[in-house]
Amino acid sequence: MHNAEEQVYSLSMQITATILHSTADKIESSHFWRMNYKTVHLQQRANTLIQTPGTDQRSVLVIYTGGTFGMVYDPQADQLIPFDFERVFERLPELHRLNLNITLITLAVILDSSNMKPAVWIELAHLIEANYEQYDSFVILHGTDTMAYTASALSFMLEGLNKPVLLTGAQLPIGVPRTDARENFITALEIAAEVDTAAVDAANVEMTGLSTVRQPLVSEVCIYFNSLLLRGNRSTKQESVQFNAFSSENYPHLATAGVSIDYNRPYIRPYQPDQTLRIRTELNPNVTILKLFPGITQPVVESILESPALRGVVLETFGAGNAPTDGWFLEALKRAIDRGILIINVSQCEGGRVTQGRYQTSKYLEQIGVVSGADITTEAAITKLMVLLGQELDRDPAAMSRLQKRLAQPMMGEMSE
């Protein structure tokens, strides 16, 4: 065992989790039960570390969900296999040198993130809520394929968040020499632990030389990947081969990690000390994405929009939010809206924004009640629909207009006004 730390293995620590069930209209967490998570603690011995004056150790809860990050090469099988993640501290000895108390929880079922489901987002939200008071920050290790969906969903589900929740992963497994897992994980931990030094209580420092301020620099859901810190609900997976897997076309990077980590403070959500965490765990999965293309046919559009349980549609349009003006198309949309289906207009372009009414081809959409998504991503739009529709089950005109208003307004910095 490493000299500088005390490692405690408690492989079946019991923590509160939820049992999930889905109904036709929503997925919800209905009651609690005790679930065993594999848990490992890495507790640094303070006296062996270089301490930041006046600050005690920050604590971080790392939740491992799966993805490429945790794979190693098995020479016998000649393939990549998930490695025993509880041994991560042996594989990443650098973690011992961080001035952090780290606890690692492994989800019971390790997922390639292509298998990610709203039920797991609910489990993650409950895990964060159950551990919120004990930890200063949270890091979620997640596959890259659907990380932007999970980050968007959590941003809407964790209402009143004032601690960092950072998602990261890797393009190359941790067991490969050139892996990006190491840098992504270690820098995510550093950002998660970052205290806002500008908020230091000057008088206190003067008197004692110590600061008691423990306010985090970042207090929102983010993705950290390949040197960039991005707002989670502004991120998209843009690249499957190079290391720069994520982009945020319509919102500036929150930080860039080089020799030092440079924070773009004006764009980081301000810390709100009076907020209390409240999780939204009722999600409506009856939503879809309808991507337009020249030549899309009437039967295809109608079969999607007439799907019986459907409640929300992300309509992926051209350019600044434009769509065909064929009568059958607009009538199909109108019929859907009249049946209580929420439709949000999101551009197929990664950069720029929807401006409904700029062209005739989008003016009609506005007239029939399609909501403009402005510069929202598809990932944020679909998860926002799930969360809003989970909260409001009614379809009457008053409920529809409330939902349309909430959909059009920024909820967690996911779109510009």
Annotated catalytic sites, by residue?
Answer: 68
Closer residue to ligand ASP, CB minimum distance, 64 or 263: 64
What letter would DSSP give residue 199? G
Closest CA to 69 of 216, 149, 186, 168: 168
By CB under 6 A, which span of 24-32, 65-73, 188-196, 216-224 interacts with ligand ASP?
65-73
Using CB under 6 A as the binding rule, the residues of this chain from 334 to 353 that contact ligand ASP are none
Least spacing, CB of residue 378 vs ligand ASP, in Å: 17
Binding mask 17-56 for ligand ASP (x = CB under 6 A): ----------------------------------------
Least spacing, CB of residue 144 vs ligand ASP, in Å: 3
Closer residue to ligand ASP, CB minimum distance, 145 or 375: 145
3-class secondary structure, 21: strand
Establish if 171 lies at the interface with ligand ASP (CB under 6 A).
yes
Closer residue to ligand ASP, CB minimum distance, 105 or 365: 105
Establish if 390 lies at the interface with ligand ASP (CB under 6 A).
no
Nearest residue to ligand ASP, by Cβ distance, number only: 143
DSSP letters, 309-363, are T--EEEEEEBTTTB----HHHHHHHHHHHHTT-EEEEEESSSSS---TTSSHHHH
3-class secondary structure, 4: coil
Q: In the Cβ-directed half-sphere of 170, how many Cα atoms lie within 13 Å?
A: 24
* Backbone phi and psi for residue 372, each to the nearest 5 degrees, phi listed first: -75, 130
Out of 18, 57, 113, 168, the residue judged to bind ligand ASP by CB under 6 A: 113
C-beta atoms surrounding 378 within 10 Å: 21
Size of the site for ligand ASP (CB under 6 A): 11
3-class secondary structure, 67: coil
Assigned token pair, 260: 């030092």
By CB under 6 A, which span of 42-50, 61-69, 195-203, 349-357 interacts with ligand ASP?
61-69
CB 311 within 8 A of CB 342: yes
Establish if 68 lies at the interface with ligand ASP (CB under 6 A).
yes
Distance between CA atoms of residues 376 and 342, nearest Å: 16
CA distances from 333 to 196, 240, 370 (A): 48, 34, 8
Closer residue to ligand ASP, CB minimum distance, 59 or 113: 113
Closer residue to ligand ASP, CB minimum distance, 147 or 191: 147
Largest CA distance in the chain: 74
Establish if 70 lies at the interface with ligand ASP (CB under 6 A).
no
Binding mask 279-318 for ligand ASP (x = CB under 6 A): ----------------------------------------
Establish if 86 lies at the interface with ligand ASP (CB under 6 A).
no
Closer residue to ligand ASP, CB minimum distance, 101 or 168: 168
Out of 145, 282, 316, 379, the residue judged to bind ligand ASP by CB under 6 A: 145
Which residues does residue 287 pair with via DSSP β-bridges, in sequence order? 312
Out of 12, 79, 114, 260, the residue judged to bind ligand ASP by CB under 6 A: 114
Establish if 67 lies at the interface with ligand ASP (CB under 6 A).
yes
Establish if 143 lies at the interface with ligand ASP (CB under 6 A).
yes
Closest CA to 283 of 26, 41, 90: 26
Closer residue to ligand ASP, CB minimum distance, 68 or 162: 68
Cα Rg of the chain, angstroms: 23
Out of 59, 144, 179, 322, the residue judged to bind ligand ASP by CB under 6 A: 144
Establish if 112 lies at the interface with ligand ASP (CB under 6 A).
yes
Least spacing, CB of residue 65 vs ligand ASP, in Å: 9
Sign for the CA dihedral angle at 173, 110, 94, 79 comes to negative
Q: Which helix (H) or strand (E) holds 8?
A: strand 5-10
Assigned token pair, 77: 């099988």
Rounded to the nearest 10 degrees, the angle between the axes of helix 327-338 and helix 298-305 is 0
Distance between CA atoms of residues 208 and 210, nearest Å: 5
Closer residue to ligand ASP, CB minimum distance, 36 or 115: 115
Least spacing, CB of residue 68 vs ligand ASP, in Å: 3
Establish if 184 lies at the interface with ligand ASP (CB under 6 A).
no
Establish if 372 lies at the interface with ligand ASP (CB under 6 A).
no
Residues near ligand ASP, by CB under 6 A: 66-68, 112-114, 143-145, 169, 171
